[in-house]
Structures are given as structure tokens and as C-alpha cells.
């Protein structure tokens, strides 16, 4: 009887240890890269053979939680959108593990920079909910003066961040999202944004301005810096540094922007 009792106790202890081990089981995963290899668990550190990102040690459950908790970011692309304005942040947010989708006014192709024909994923009528809304320069006046676009921006609920590059700030301005904030835009449009949003303080000479919920960047290539800043804010500076290194943006200066609200 005593032997049976000890046997049961031993079995219970073993089961408990196994469960504890399963709960804290760790493996090596690539830094999130938005490709299928994001879900592959490796046994040892090194480099992902698929995306070449560094493999980092993570508890399996934590990785799964991160995988299911990817932030959704809507890129609004108007006809005439500047190609580097959106492509820089798209590169950054993709490698940082965000889910990106593109939205335009209608289903037809959008031509960027007079060259690149893009088929948007969604229109204003069927775009899914996003955590972050992003706007870009290049014919941004067509979007900021379009009530359909501005009403769509205003309709979106539970937005965690608004992000603009270059003259994409005029769209946020028209949607009354820049009132009384410190912001920035394309270097040739500082005065006209100030005129469009008189209560804002429009700065020149900064790569980005972070107001907590609203991040605006300077022109064209500055979108890369603003996106890396937002990644650092949400996912930690180490992840942003890995992304910058991967894309060989070794000139990244994290402090080249102004943070008014952390």
C-alpha cells in the first residue's frame, strides 16, 4: 500500500515537472520578418536560413502570443503617392513583424511616382480595422481635399497610432488630428502646413516628431527614421536596431527626432 502511494506521488511529480517544462519550453526563432519562417523553431542560435535574420531565444508560448498579437497597419496610398515615402516604412514595419495592408479610394490601380502601378488590397469601403493608420506624400492634396478619405479616417476607431510621412501630414491635419500638436512635414511645405493647421506648431529641421499617439516625419527618406522610431517605441530599441542593421541603414540616428510624449 505504501509503495503504491509513493508510486502515485512520483507520477504526480513527474506530470507536474513535464507540464512546467512544456510551459517554459524555449527555442530559437528569427526576428519577426513577416515570412513563413517566423513560425519555425530552431534548436540552436545562429541565422535563419530563409530570411537570414538572427535567431533569438524565446519561450514558445511567448512567441505564439507575439505571433497572434501582430499589430495591423493600414497604408493609405493615393494616386500619385511618392514611392520612397511609403516603401521605406513598408520595409521597416515588415521586418519588425507588423501586418501591413494597402488601402486606396477605389479598386483600380494606383500609380506611384508616375511609374509604379500598384493594386491596393482594399478600398475605403472594405478595409479591415487597423491598429495604425499611415499616410504619405505625393499628390497628398488629392486625398486631404477628398471628404470620402477624411470621413474614412475619422470613422476609424481604436487607432493606436497615426503616422505620416512628408505631406501625408496634410491628410491628418484635415482630419483634425494635428490640432495643437507639434508636428513636421516635407521641407518645402512647412509654411503651408502651418497655414492649414494654425493651432499646430510645425517644425523644420527634425526627422520626426512623436506626440505619443501621432507621429509625423519630414520628407521622403525621413519616413525610414520615423518608422524605426515607432518600432523602437512599440517593440523595443533592440528590435529597431536589428531591422536597421538588416536593411543596412547604418546611418540611423535614433535621436534625430523630437519626442514630446514618450
Where on the chain is the footprint of its own copies (CB under 8 A)? 34-35, 47, 52, 82-84, 87-88, 90-91, 94, 100-102, 109, 113-121, 186-189, 218-222, 224, 246-249, 251
Sign of the Cα pseudo-torsion (243, 245, 246, 247, in order): positive
Cβ atoms of residues 243 and 224 within 8 Å: no
Minimum distance of its own copies from residue 257's CB (angstroms): 13
* CB of 90 or CB of 197, closer to its own copies: 90
Q: How far is the CB of 199 from its own copies (least distance, A)?
A: 25
Residue 66 Cβ vs its own copies, minimum distance, rounded to whole Å = 18
Question: In this complex, which beta carbon is closest to its own copies, that of residue 31 or of residue 150?
Answer: 31
Residue 231 CB, shortest distance to its own copies, in Å, is: 15
Q: CB of 89: closest distance to its own copies in angstroms?
A: 9
Question: How far, in Å, CA of 142 to CA of 187, rounded?
Answer: 19
How far does CA 249 lie from the centroid of its chain?
A: 17
Comparison of 124 and 175: residue with beta carbon closer to its own copies: 124
**CA–CA dist 89, 216 (Å, integer):** 12
CA 151 – CA 149 distance, rounded (Å): 5
Is the CB of 150 or the CB of 240 nearer to its own copies?
240
What residues contact 245, with CB distance under 8 A and at least 6 apart?
Answer: none
Interacting residues of 150 by C-beta distance below 8 A, sequence separation 6+: 144, 171, 174, 175
Query: In this complex, which beta carbon is closest to its own copies, that of residue 152 or of residue 252?
Result: 252
Amino acid at each position: 500500500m505504501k509503495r503504491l502511494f509513493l508510486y502515485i506521488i512520483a507520477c504526480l511529480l513527474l506530470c507536474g515537472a513535464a507540464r512546467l517544462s512544456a510551459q517554459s519550453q524555449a527555442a530559437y526563432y528569427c526576428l519577426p520578418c513577416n515570412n513563413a519562417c517566423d513560425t519555425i523553431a530552431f534548436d540552436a542560435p545562429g541565422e535563419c536560413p530563409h530570411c537570414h535574420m538572427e535567431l533569438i531565444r524565446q519561450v514558445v508560448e511567448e512567441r505564439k502570443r507575439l505571433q497572434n498579437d501582430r499589430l495591423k497597419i493600414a497604408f493609405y496610398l493615393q494616386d500619385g503617392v511618392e514611392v520612397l515615402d511609403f516603401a521605406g516604412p513598408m520595409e521597416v514595419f515588415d521586418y519588425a513583424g507588423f501586418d501591413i495592408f494597402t488601402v486606396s479610394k477605389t479598386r483600380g490601380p494606383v500609380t506611384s511616382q508616375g511609374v509604379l502601378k500598384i493594386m491596393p488590397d482594399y478600398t475605403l469601403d472594405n478595409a479591415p480595422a487597423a491598429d495604425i493608420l499611415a499616410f504619405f506624400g505625393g499628390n497628398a492634396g488629392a486625398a486631404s481635399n477628398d471628404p470620402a478619405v477624411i470621413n474614412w479616417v475619422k470613422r476609424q476607431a481604436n487607432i493606436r497610432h497615426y503616422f505620416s510621412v512628408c505631406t501625408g501630414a496634410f491628410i491628418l491635419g484635415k482630419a483634425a488630428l494635428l490640432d495643437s500638436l507639434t508636428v513636421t512635414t516635407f521641407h518645402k511645405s512647412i509654411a503651408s502646413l502651418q497655414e492649414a493647421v494654425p493651432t499646430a506648431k510645425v517644425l523644420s529641421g527634425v526627422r520626426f516628431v512623436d506626440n505619443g499617439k501621432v507621429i509625423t516625419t519630414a520628407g521622403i527618406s525621413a519616413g525610414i527614421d520615423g518608422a524605426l522610431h515607432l518600432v523602437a517605441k512599440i517593440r523595443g530599441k533592440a528590435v529597431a536596431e536589428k531591422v536597421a542593421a538588416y536593411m543596412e541603414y547604418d546611418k540611423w540616428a535614433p535621436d534625430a527626432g523630437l519626442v514630446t510624449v514618450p
